[in-house]
Amino acid sequence: MFTSFDLLIVAAMGLAALGVMSTVLMFLIRNRIARRVFMYVSVALALYLAHAGLYISGGMFLGQAAVSFAVIAGCVAVVVLDVLSKKNEKLFTLARILTAVAVVTGFANALLF
């Protein structure tokens, strides 16, 4: 039988696998539309992890809440950069890098600390 801790570990491993897979595919695929799809999957994952960090902290741990709000601000910046980067490849690369940073920071904030 699985205990609740076992299920938590399975969920954390699933989130980590989804984060790694979407981040790696966001950088390796050459098709711009597919890269944007994986970027938005990563942004959605980062927003979920930021929400989980806020929910876990419950407002008691201000550092964890501040990091969650920073991840949310980073996700908003990614969407703005993506809208602005219609023909500019450098802005799109910056948006993808910021997405990867937001996913890693959100994962560390929600599940590691």
pLDDT at res. 112: 77
What whole-number distance in Å separates Cα of residue 109 and Cα of residue 113? 6
pLDDT recorded at residue 110: 85
pLDDT recorded at residue 102: 95
Cβ atoms within 10 Å of 102's Cβ, excluding its own: 26
Mean pLDDT of the residues in the chain: 90
Two tokens, residue 52: 């989980």
- The parts of the chain modelled with pLDDT lower than 70 are none
Q: Give the number of C-alpha atoms closer than 13 A to the C-alpha of residue 33, restricted to the C-beta side.
A: 0
For residue 77, give both structure tokens.
């910046």
Write the burial class of residue 11 (CB in 10 Å: 0-12 exposed, 13-18 middle, 19+ buried).
exposed
Model pTM score: 0.89
